[in-house]
């Protein structure tokens, strides 16, 4: 079964509530056995719209990533992100080894 990736492109507009989201979401990702591969860091936009904050998180499967997103704990953390920025978030299935 291929791994899956949570990919988020974010522009933070209100850092305080977004910080609460980031703290809560990080705790949820840990409980979901997810591995953060990239978070923040420098960005070089080559084509299309770029956002200043980008996150890639690895999960054991697409189902595990979806379950993490749908969990009550993540949804509670997500409430802090709503209105604190603009985000594009997707789940992406990796290639089968």
The dihedral through the CA atoms of 83, 23, 38, 72 has a sign that is negative
The first and second tokens of residue 61, run together, are: 């499967």
Per-residue pLDDT of the chain (97 residues; tens, 9 = 90+): 899 999 999 999 999 999 999 999 999 999 999 999 999 889 999 999 899 999 999 999 999 999 999 999 999 999 999 999 999 999 999 998 7
**Its pTM surpasses 0.85:** yes
Quick count: other Cβ atoms within 10 Å of Cβ 40? 11
Q: Which CATH number applies to 4-93: 3.40.718.10, 3.30.70.100, 3.40.640.10, 1.10.20.10?
A: 3.30.70.100
């Amino acid at each position: 079964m291929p791994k899956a990736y949570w990919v988020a492109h974010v522009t933070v507009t209100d850092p305080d509530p977004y910080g609460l989201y980031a703290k809560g979401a990080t705790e949820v990702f840990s409980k979901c056995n997810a591995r953060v591969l990239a978070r923040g860091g420098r960005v070089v936009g080559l084509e299309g719209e770029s956002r200043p904050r980008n996150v890639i998180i690895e999960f054991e499967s697409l189902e595990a990533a979806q379950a993490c997103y749908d969990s009550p704990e993540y949804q509670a953390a997500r409430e802090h992100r709503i209105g604190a920025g603009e985000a594009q978030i997707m789940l992406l299935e990796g290639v089968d080894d």
